[in-house]
Chain A
Amino acid sequence: MSQRRGPLEATLAFLDFFAAVLRCLVTGPHFWLETLRTMDILMRRCLIPVGLAVAPVGAVIALQGVGVFRMFGVEGLLSSMLATAIFRQYSPALASVMVAAQAGSSIAARIGTMKVRGQIDALAVMSVDPLRYVVVPGFIACLIIAPLLNVLTTALGLVSGWFFAVVLARVDHGAFVDNLYSQVTVTDLWIGLAKCTLFGGAIGLIAGFAGLRTVGGAAGVGRAANSTVVTTIIMILVIDYFISLLLLWLGV
Chain B
Amino acid sequence: MPEPITAPAIELDGVSKAFGANKVLDDVSLTVRHGSIMVMLGPSGTGKSVLLRCLVGLLRPDAGRVLVYGEDVAALDESRPRDRARLFALRRRFGMLFQDGALFDDMDVGDNVAFPMRMHTDLSEAQIRAKVADKLRRVGLSGVERKAPSELSGGMRKRVAFARAIALEPDIVLCDEPSSGLDPVMSATLDELILELHRTLGMTFIVISHDTAEAKKIADTIGLLASGKLVTYGPAADVFAEGQPALRQFFERSTEGPIRVL
Residues of A near any B CB (own CB < 8 A): 1-2, 16, 20, 23, 110, 113-114, 117-119, 121-122, 124-129
Q: Could you give, for residues 84-105 of chain B, a 1 whenever the CB lies within 8 Å of some chain A CB and a 0 otherwise?
A: 1000110110101011101111
Report whether B116 and A118 are in contact in the complex, using a CB–CB cutoff of 8 Å: no
Total interface residues on B, using CB and 8 Å? 26
Contacts of A1 in B (CB 8 A): 19
Q: Could you give, for residues 104-116 of chain B, a 1 whenever the CB lies within 8 Å of some chain A CB and a 0 otherwise?
A: 1110000000011
Contacts of A23 in B (CB 8 A): 81
Report whether B116 and A2 are in contact in the complex, using a CB–CB cutoff of 8 Å: no
Report whether B102 and A118 are in contact in the complex, using a CB–CB cutoff of 8 Å: yes
Whole-angstrom distance from the CB of A109 to the nearest CB of chain B? 12
Contacts of B115 in A (CB 8 A): 126, 128
Q: A119-B103, A125-B56 are in contact. List 20 more A-B contacts (CB 8 A).
A: A2-B20, A16-B79, A23-B81, A113-B105, A114-B104, A118-B98, A118-B100, A118-B102, A119-B105, A121-B58, A121-B98, A124-B56, A124-B88, A125-B94, A125-B96, A126-B116, A127-B89, A127-B119, A128-B119, A129-B84
Is B120 at the interface (CB under 8 A from chain A)?
yes
Report whether B98 and A126 are in contact in the complex, using a CB–CB cutoff of 8 Å: no
Residue of A nearest to B106 (CB): A110
Interface centre among A16, A20, A126 (most CB of B within 10 A): A126
Please report whether the interface of chain A is mostly helix, strand, loop or mixed according to DSSP: helix
Whole-angstrom distance from the CB of B93 to the nearest CB of chain A? 10
A118 CA to B165 CA, complexed, in Å? 14
Given B79, B92, B102, which contacts A117 in the complex, CB threshold below 8 Å? B102
Whole-angstrom distance from the CB of A137 to the nearest CB of chain B? 13
Contacts of B104 in A (CB 8 A): 114, 119, 122
A113 CA to B104 CA, complexed, in Å? 10
Contacts of B96 in A (CB 8 A): 122, 125
Report whether B100 and A126 are in contact in the complex, using a CB–CB cutoff of 8 Å: no
7 nearest CB pairs, A to B: A118-B102, A122-B102, A127-B88, A127-B91, A125-B96, A118-B98, A119-B102
Q: Could you give, for residues 156-192 of chain B, a 1 whenever the CB lies within 8 Å of some chain A CB and a 0 otherwise?
A: 0000000000000000000000000000000000000
Report whether A125 and B100 are in contact in the complex, using a CB–CB cutoff of 8 Å: no
Contact status of A117 and B20, CB under 8 A, knowing A125-B94, A126-B91: no
A113 CA to B149 CA, complexed, in Å? 15
Report whether A125 and B119 are in contact in the complex, using a CB–CB cutoff of 8 Å: no
Contact status of A121 and B102, CB under 8 A, knowing A2-B20, A16-B79: yes
Report whether A2 and B19 are in contact in the complex, using a CB–CB cutoff of 8 Å: yes
